[in-house]
Homo-oligomer: A and B are copies of this chain.
Amino acid sequence: MRPILMRMVSKLTTDTGAEQRIRQLLEGAGVRCTRQRLLLASIVLHRKQHLSAEQVLAFANRARQVVSKATVYNTLGLFARMGLVREVIVDPQRTFYDSNVTEHHHIYNEDDGTLTDVGQDEFRIEGLPTLPPGTEVHGVDVIVRVRTRPA
C-alpha cells in the first residue's frame, strides 16, 4: 500500500458516513469523484474481498444503478493504477480486483475459481533472484494453486 493511502485509511476510520469516507479515499488518491466511481468504490472497497469485473457489474446492477460494462473495466483499472485496489492475475479468463492492498499472497482454487488470502507470516520467500540488467522489482506474486480433493 502506498504510504499516503495508508495514512488516509487510518485517518478516515474516525469519520462518519460511508459515502464521505469513500469520497475522501478517492480524492486522496487523486481520483475525481463521479456517481459511477462512488458506486463502484463503495462496492469494491466496502470490505476485504476479491471480485472480478463481472461480479462488480452484477453488484452494481443489483443496486439498480446504471453503469456500463466498459466503465466498470476502466474504473477498476484506474483504481488499480492509483493503488486503491490490486489486480490479481491467476486466470487468463478474468482479472480479479483485490481490495486488500497490503502485501500478501493468494490461494487459487482452480475448480471453483475461489481466491483466498495468505498472510505474509504464513510463509515467506527467502532471497531474491538476480534481476535482468536495468530492471527493478515492481512486485512479487505468489499463487498457490489448489484443486478440490477427489472423493
Residues of A within 8 A of B (CB): 89-92, 94-95, 105, 107, 109-110, 114, 116, 118-119, 122-132, 134-149
A139 to chain B, nearest CB (A): 5
Q: Is the interface of A mostly helix, strand, loop or mixed?
A: strand
Which one of B94, B107, B145 lies within 8 Å of A132 (CB-CB)?
A: B107
Q: Do B146 and A132 touch across chains, with their CB atoms under 8 A apart?
A: yes
- List B contacts of A140 (CB < 8 A): 142-145
- As for how many copies of this chain the complex holds, the number is 2
The 6 closest A-B pairs by CB, nearest first: A123-B127, A135-B146, A122-B129, A118-B129, A141-B143, A138-B145
Which one of B92, B128, B147 lies within 8 Å of A95 (CB-CB)?
A: B92
CA A139 – CA B107 in complex, angstroms? 10
Q: Do B141 and A141 touch across chains, with their CB atoms under 8 A apart?
A: yes
- List B contacts of A107 (CB < 8 A): 129, 131-132, 135
CA A139 – CA B90 in complex, angstroms? 12
- List B contacts of A130 (CB < 8 A): 122
If A142-B140, A142-B142 touch, whether A148 touches B126 (CB-CB below 8 Å) is no
CA A118 – CA B130 in complex, angstroms? 8
Could you jot down 21 A-B contacts, CB within 8 Å? A89-B92, A92-B92, A92-B94, A107-B131, A118-B129, A122-B129, A123-B125, A123-B129, A124-B126, A125-B142, A131-B146, A136-B146, A136-B147, A137-B145, A137-B146, A138-B146, A138-B147, A139-B145, A140-B142, A140-B143, A141-B143
